[in-house]
Homo-oligomer: A and B are copies of this chain.
Amino acid sequence: METPPQRQRPGRAPAQGNRTGRPRQAEVARLAGVSQATVSLVLAGRTDKVSIAPETQRRVLEAARTLGYVPDPAARRLAAARNNMLGVFSFTATFPTDVRHSYYPFLVGVECEAAEQGYDLVLFTGSSTGGAGSGGPEALSRVRLADGCLFLGRHAPAAELRRLVDDGFPVVHLGRRDELDGLSWVGADYISASREVVAHLAALGHRKIVLVREDDEAPASTDREHGFLKGLEEAGLPAGPDAVFRTADPASALTPDVLRGWLDAGVTALVAEETDTGAAWLALERTVAEAGLSAPDDLSLAVLGSPPPERDSAPVTGFDIPRTELGAAAVRMLVALVAGEEAQEPLVACPFRPGASVGPPPTPAG
């Protein structure tokens, strides 16, 4: 309040002839009585490849210290032809106001792994109206200023992505994306995880299991169904078309009557997919309650993912989506691509999460 910020105190000696007032390698060289090249070699520790007398090294290091030399990152990166920057592009704002849809958990992993690998992150936002070079279809082209770019969310326009990939620009998409061939991606292994959930139920003795899913063609949805069916198959259970209840609007289509119909038909376990909205699971949960039933006594419930983190309810059986780990994996893959290496395994395993919502099937007639 009483300290209106000011700047540029006298502090250090103004300049030598360079713009910044900060010492350059040339000044260090002068002070140490050597050439700029020698300074560079010593400070970069390249003394094993190009030998420098120990005494000279000492002088250089001392000169650098007394002058307070710090390398200019811009020059360093220019000379090295590497920015050490990875782009992060999200078509919607990277930090959305609605935390539910946030990429936050991914970013935790992205940031951490990027730091680990020695990269900084450049944030690009597709939605930013106004501002730097935004707007037109070339907006995506901006990401080229980084060494490579990570794409979040499925809204990145295919054509632009295609262009980047074709140009050989390192790109990794977070979330499976097969329709653009040549595009690298990392994603959660929903298939294996879903299969595992079914296996768990089957091991408990369930013989008829139904999957409730939304009417969506997203890989995240179809993968879960694949895994579910695969799980049934491997357990020797019937995997007919009526094992999957698919509806565009679970909230209204999934009535208590439908539920009772299943139970009467011998179904003892229900599995819901988890999506952005969580509609399938929420509808299932609500309908079970409405029907006066409760898990795991009357039936077993599982969710192919993590239920929305509501109040302190009992944990639901399912699997966790390792978002942080996904972010890290994406960065690792991107770094590999930047280095010209081959992309590795794109799938990240989802750990099974035991819960209190499943149990053995109820005995037919108490």
Contact = CB atoms under 8 A, between A and B. Distances in A.
Given A5-B343, A95-B107, A115 B127 contact: yes
Interface in A120-161: 120-125, 127-134, 137-138, 141-145
A120 B118 contact: no
B22 A144 contact: yes
A115 B134 CA distance: 9
Contacts of A181: 3, 6, 9
A182 B71 contact: no
B343 A167 contact: no
Contact of A97 (B93, B108, B133): B108
Interface stretch (A13-21, A32-40, A264-272, A352-360): A13-21
Interface in A76-92: 77-78, 81, 83-85
Interface stretch (A183-191, A208-216, A238-246): A183-191
A31 interface: no
19 contacts: A5-B333, A6-B182, A12-B167, A12-B168, A69-B141, A70-B137, A70-B141, A70-B145, A71-B138, A74-B77, A74-B144, A77-B145, A94-B107, A95-B104, A96-B108, A115-B127, A118-B132, A120-B142, A121-B125
A337 interface: yes
A123 B125 contact: no
A344 to B, nearest CB: 9
A320 to B, nearest CB: 15
A313 B228 CA distance: 40
Contacts of A127: 112, 115
A9 B141 contact: no
A127 to B, nearest CB: 6
A256 B191 CA distance: 55
Contacts of A5: 182-185, 333, 343, 346
